[in-house]
A = this chain, B = another copy of it.
Amino acid sequence: MGKNITYPYLFDLTEQIFLKIGCTPEHAKLATETLISADLRGIDSHGVARLSGYIRLWEAKRINAVPAIKLIHETPSTAVVDGDSGLGLVVGAYAMDVAIKKAEAVGTGWVSVCNSNHFGIAAHHAMKALERDMIGVVMTNASALVAPTFSKERMLGTNPICVAVPAGSEPPFVADLATTTAANGKLEILQRTGKDAPLGWIQDSMGLPVSDSHALKTGGALLPLGGDREHGSHKGYALGAIVDIFSGVLSGANFGPWVPPFPAYVPMPENQPGKGIGHFIGAMRIDAFRTAVAFKKDMDLWISRFRQAAPVNANIPVVIPGDPERLMSVKRMEEGIPLLPVVLEDLQSLADKFNIKF
């Protein structure tokens, strides 16, 4: 049986672990905040369930706990950030700060990041823009698990796109989506419970559609949003490719099949063309287009009108992107964060390793 852990308790534990690997207090706090925002929002695959994975990457010297994050190129509205192999959780936050400063100065800021690692959930970084009355745009590439349309080879990561838009009296619009039919985390849930996946989520090593949720372990691949050509998988593939180019090619990071793997035991791809993982992070000041007041009034109208869109089933209303995760955050902040036994064991091992009471 799992257990509910309060947010402050989980925060403290995670922060202590980041401090133990040598992060500065500032970075440990930032990394913790970013990582467990996923647990809070209900994206369990991207939160503390991954903490031991990050630590193994640090042990394998693929993550640098004390990075000298550098701005290596810039114009008034753009920058390239070199993450110095730091935690993406920290590098991503740094890049959004740069984007926001540029947006304050010239209306928008766009930062392409190289030499980084996994940055947690895109939404956490994108939502940083909201408090400044800005739109946040965040993407990242990731190690190859996805086969392009017509291919049986894993060439792209699940490459998410997040856009966060402020509203007035309505809560913000926050869309955060992997460019695949289903995120890998969704597949992992089916694997754990021994269930099949719907057709259109994955294919086997020959490129044939399968429902076996373990097909990735035998050379299969996730499928781009759309699932197959007839249902628009070439569009999901194109979106994943755009994320890869903006994050990897524009920054000098790795891209396509060369992106570093998350599991520390998987060897690095050979002949890597770039440095680490890439992100693309942007901020647009609302009042670089219209007054924030006028925009928010229309955004409230957008949201309320879409909430009222005629439902197919009277009991299932249309969802505004970001609503489920926001409601989950409120719930989990109150009731605590439910962790599976396997995650609790993982945290216990980490606590033991670093002599922390858990």
Which residues of A come within 8 Å of B, CB atoms?
A: 73, 75-78, 80, 106-108, 110, 112, 135, 147-153, 155, 161, 163, 165, 173, 175, 177-182, 198, 200-201, 206-208, 225-227, 230-232, 234-239, 241-242, 244-245, 249-252, 255-257, 273-274, 284-286, 288-290, 294-295, 298-299, 301-302, 305-306, 309-313, 316-319, 321
Contact = CB atoms under 8 A, between A and B. Distances in A.
6 contacts: A77-B108, A165-B245, A173-B245, A177-B234, A206-B312, A207-B312
Given A250-B286, A257-B305, 11 more contacts: A75-B108, A75-B285, A107-B110, A152-B311, A155-B309, A161-B239, A175-B239, A177-B232, A181-B232, A250-B290, A251-B289
Contacts of A151: 309-312, 318
Contacts of A301: 273
Nearest to A177: B235
Given A225-B232, A232-B182, A249-B302, A288 B75 contact: yes
A326 to B, nearest CB: 15
Contact of A241 (B108, B232, B242, B321): B321
A299 B248 CA distance: 10
A196 to B, nearest CB: 12
A295 B201 CA distance: 33
A148 B152 CA distance: 31
A180 B250 CA distance: 28
Given A76-B107, A225-B235, A299-B245, A310 B181 contact: no
A252 B294 contact: yes
A288 B78 contact: yes
A145 to B, nearest CB: 14
Contacts of A241: 173, 175, 306, 321
A307 B289 CA distance: 40
Contacts of A150: 311-313, 316-319
Per CB-CB distance, the 10 closest pairs between chain A and chain B, nearest first, are A207-B312, A75-B107, A175-B238, A78-B107, A153-B310, A76-B106, A78-B288, A151-B309, A77-B77, A177-B235
Nearest to A207: B312
How many copies make up the complex?
Answer: 2
- Counting chain B CB atoms within 10 Å of each CB, the highest count among A239, A290, A305, A309 belongs to A309
Contacts of A249: 295, 298-299, 302
A250 B295 contact: yes
B289 A80 contact: yes
A73 B287 CA distance: 9
A232 B181 CA distance: 5
A149 B234 CA distance: 21
A290 B231 contact: no
Given A73-B289, A231-B231, A289-B73, A242 B149 contact: no
A299 B175 CA distance: 28
A251 B288 CA distance: 10
